[in-house]
Structure formats: structure tokens, C-alpha cells
Amino acid sequence: MQEHFDDHWVQQARALGWRSRAAFKLQQLDERLALLRAGQVVVDLGAAPGSWCQYANARIGERGSLIAVDLLPIEPLPGVTIIEGDFREQAMLEQLQRCLNGRAVDVVLSDMAPNISGIRTVDQTAAMYLAELALDFARQQLRVGGHWICKVFQGEGFDELLRSARAEFEQVRMHKPESSRDRSREQYMVGIRYQGNSCS
């Protein structure tokens, strides 16, 4: 716990009013790859507590639209539409479609991670399942040329996900932001310029 409070990025997040240090991960990815810009439509999967929303919403501005989805409650954020529920369920997808009102999505964000059991093989399987769901969601919702950012963990299922993403995007990049903890196995798979058009 003391390590958490002493963490540079935790202290910086507190100073800037971010809800968690995770905001810096998205910021660093965006600064490197220029994925977010004014006026975009963005969907954030697994958005709680909302720090990615805070950063993304500032980038897309008032002309943009951000929809945050999570099973957990998210404290309201100005300019952000929050849907509490499971994006795998049809009712939630219908609610999301109503919020989109016919607009295709420019960027899909996913910082989802499973509840950790401590059993590495079980946790890896669960994490890759969430990543696969996030990629499938991107296939259905992204406009041509849109982007996808997803937390992944190296291990079983990773190579298959990478192959699938490369079939969908013009370019796929792997990054571990500076603000990720050194001991963490997390990386971010970034799909740049979606090639399909599931939203037409």
C-alpha cells in the first residue's frame, strides 16, 4: 500500500485530478501514436473508475462524443455518457447503439482486466478472453480508418490475438507505457486504421 502511495504516477494523477494513474498510460500511447483528436466518437470498455475517460474526453473536446461502459459503477463525468452493464449482452449493445445514434466509432479503448485469481494460467485465459471480446467489438463498431487500443498480457493466446488484429488493421503496434509498473506483464496492442467496415 505504501508503494502505491509513493508511486510517482499515483502522485501525479492526484495532482492533476485524474481518477487513477492509468490515465498516463493512455496519454503516453496517444502522444506516441496520435490516436485521439477533436470531434471523435470514442467508446471506452471497462472504463471504471474513469481516468481514461478523463484524458480522452479532454482530447476529443465538446464536438466529440465519449461512451463509457463497465460492469462497475462510474462516478459521473461531464460530457461522458456512462452505461453500466456487460457489453456482451444484447440489451447493453442496444443501449449503446441508441447512444451512438447511427454514428460509427472512431476509437475503441479497452483497459479491461479480469479479477486476479493468482493462478497464472487461469488469469491469462481470462485476460485474453476479454481482449478477444474487445477486438470483436471493434470489428462491429469501428469506422474504416478507426483505431483500437487494448490491454493484453504476453502468454497463451497472445499470438493468436495478434494475428487476428493484423488481419483487421493496417498496422498493429505493441507498447508498454512508461507509467506501467515494471513488474507488470501488461502491454497495449494498438490497431491503427481499421480496414473493414462492419458499421455500414
Give the ranges where the chain is alpha helix by DSSP (H).
Answer: 2-6, 8-16, 23-33, 51-60, 90-100, 120-141, 158-168
- What pLDDT, on a 0 to 100 scale, did the predictor assign at position 183? 63
Share of the chain above pLDDT 90, in %: 66
In this prediction the pTM is 0.89
Write the CA distances from 70 to 19, 55, 113, integer angstroms: 15, 17, 12
What does the mean pLDDT of the chain come to? 89
- What pLDDT, on a 0 to 100 scale, did the predictor assign at position 11? 79
- What pLDDT, on a 0 to 100 scale, did the predictor assign at position 1? 44
Can you tell me the mean pLDDT for 55-82?
Answer: 96
* Pair 68, 82: CB distance under 8 Å: yes
Each domain of the chain, given as residue ranges in start order, spans 2-194
Looking at 67, 151, 188, 189, which residue is catalytic? 151
Q: Give the whole-angstrom CA distance, residue 123 versus residue 9.
A: 25
End-to-end CA distance of the chain: give it in Å, rounded: 48
> In which residue are the cell numbers 476479454 written?
130
Write the CA distances from 9 to 95, 145, 185, integer angstroms: 35, 32, 18
* pLDDT band at residue 84 using 50, 70 and 90 as cut-offs: very high
Q: Give the whole-angstrom CA distance, residue 132 versus residue 39.
A: 27
Catalytic site includes residue 151: yes
Per-residue pLDDT tens digits for 106-143: 999 999 987 778 788 898 999 999 999 999 999 999 99
Q: Which of 149, 192, 158, 168 is nearest to 46 (CA)?
A: 149
Can you tell me the mean pLDDT for 155-160?
Answer: 93
Q: Give the whole-angstrom CA distance, residue 31 versus residue 33.
A: 6
Is domain 2-194 annotated with CATH 3.90.440.10? no
Confidence check: pLDDT of 42 > 50: yes
